[in-house]
Amino acid sequence: MIRLRIAPDHWQALREATADDAGRERMAFLLCGRHHDNGEITLLSHGVRTLEEGAYQVSRPDQLSIDPIAVNRILVEAEGSNLSVVMAHTHPGARVARFSSADLNGECHLFPLVCGRMPDRPHGAVVLGKEAAAFRAWEIGAEQPDDGILQVLDQPFMRFPSGPVTEEVDHRRESLFLGRGALEEMSLLEIAVVGLGGTGSLVAQMLAHLGVRMITLIDPDVVEATNLSRIVGASRRDVGRQKTTVVRRTVQEVNPGARVEEISANVLSQRARQALLSADIIVCCTDTHSSRVLLNRVAWQFLIPVIDIGVLIRLDEASARTTFAGGAVRMVGSGYMCLTCADQIDSQRVTYELKADYDRELDQQFGYVPGFAAPEPAVITLNSAVTGIATSVLLNFVRRVMPPLTGQLVIDLVEPTFRRIAAGPRRGCEVCNPSGLVGRGDTALLPELN
């Protein structure tokens, strides 16, 4: 089954382009990149292409006809850019849209032409109702379309369960707040946690308590004695063990039915990169800037939401007084924010982190990178406060528990304050430029950082 994943800003643009006060059928197109994963194909929205009023030959509440020349312009762009074409149109007055026989008749004329011109990729159609939409896909040689799955990233995920879910944990009290359906959705999500220190171990534990059954843990490091005060579930006997092993044990003690994949390697490794592209959501709990370069690209290029967590304590050196204690939760990806444009990636730090151990030691020795390797203050209570909020942001993908976070939420427990900060794109950013890598998927290469 082919999926169509649409970024929040593209969904909004699509809705606006097809809105009509007169109640007429309207049309717009999505150009999409693609991702192939174990035989499954996901179309990824790259951009919305609208039609001028003159392109409509007929536009009535129950009938629609478009000038072939206007459609051909969009096909030419898709063909030259290695993108798939998804045609979207409205059914005015319909609450939950369903494809009609007239829709099928029109598609049977259009899509054999589209697939014939671009046979190496699937294409598709979307019908929009007031409250819901439907998607189906066309491939070369097909006489009929195949039903697909439509996923809009700023709306609760909707899936088709493969079978009954067997619960290992009693979630009756959680269901009073989240609802039974949301908990079933949580059990079907595949979530990757990158970095298993003071924040990552807490996130993994919370996911286990929420019934998530497919968790990928990524961290190359072993537990050290200084980690024991912050890694939940770790004890002295775990010193020297891989963090992934210790955190997997914590997860499965809470939820024995959870399928946990351990990747005891750098997130930049090939195995880790492949695992990230299979995830529904990624939680970034690492403090390295080189890993954030990759995760920022994955979020934008493959439309996989990344929740980035940072915890910070600032101390006044003269008085030893705490001037800031809190952190930030950032939603990363198309429709959210770009870590590069938000100044959350330091190119000097990236260069330092990617050097060989010997070269990094020399840099520290000669003072080229002051403070880069210095330990930061940390405490589990602060980590718990910030990761709790971050995991609640994650819950928004199955049930709206708070207003959508499109930028970053800064938590200051000294003030105390919660501030939402929007981060707009920078002109010419190679990551989030609308004509660049957004939704490109496999049609563009990920950076080779290691």
Q: Do 146 and 176 fall within a single domain?
A: no
User: 0.85 cut: is pTM over it?
Assistant: yes
**How do the pLDDT tens digits run along the chain, 450 residues long?**
899 999 999 999 999 999 999 999 999 999 999 999 988 999 999 999 999 999 999 999 989 999 999 999 999 999 999 999 999 999 998 888 899 999 999 999 999 999 999 999 999 999 999 888 999 999 999 989 999 999 999 888 755 444 444 556 677 777 777 777 787 888 889 999 999 999 999 999 999 999 999 999 999 999 999 999 999 999 999 999 999 999 999 999 999 999 999 999 999 999 999 999 999 999 999 988 899 999 999 999 999 999 999 998 888 878 878 889 999 999 999 999 999 999 888 887 887 777 766 666 665 655 555 555 566 778 899 999 999 999 999 999 988 888 889 899 999 998 888 999 887 888 889 899 988 899 999 999 887 766
Q: Do 176 and 125 fall within a single domain?
A: no
Looking at the domain assignment, is residue 426 inside a domain? Answer: no
Q: Do 388 and 269 fall within a single domain?
A: yes
Q: Do 36 and 87 fall within a single domain?
A: yes
Beta bridge partners of residue 309, listed in sequence order:
329
Q: Do 112 and 243 fall within a single domain?
A: no
Q: Which two tokens stand for residue 255?
A: 């939820």
Q: Do 144 and 243 fall within a single domain?
A: no
Looking at the domain assignment, is residue 121 inside a domain? Answer: yes
The pLDDT of residue 230: 92
Looking at the domain assignment, is residue 20 inside a domain? Answer: yes
Q: Do 133 and 226 fall within a single domain?
A: no
Provide the domain limits for residue 270: 172-421
Looking at the domain assignment, is residue 325 inside a domain? Answer: yes
Rounded to whole angstroms, the Cα distance separating 378 from 383 reads 8
What is the residue whose two structure tokens read 């950076």? 447
Looking at the domain assignment, is residue 307 inside a domain? Answer: yes
Q: Do 142 and 202 fall within a single domain?
A: no
Number of C-beta neighbours around residue 412 at 10 A? 16
Looking at the domain assignment, is residue 167 inside a domain? Answer: no
Q: Which of 120, 152, 184 is the last residue of a domain?
A: 152
Q: Do 356 and 218 fall within a single domain?
A: yes
Q: Do 265 and 368 fall within a single domain?
A: yes
Q: Do 142 and 289 fall within a single domain?
A: no
Looking at the domain assignment, is residue 204 inside a domain? Answer: yes
Q: Do 204 and 274 fall within a single domain?
A: yes
Looking at the domain assignment, is residue 73 inside a domain? Answer: yes
Q: What is the CATH number of the domain that holds 275?
A: 3.40.50.720
Structural domains in the chain (count): 2
Q: What is the CATH number of the domain that holds 35?
A: 3.40.140.10
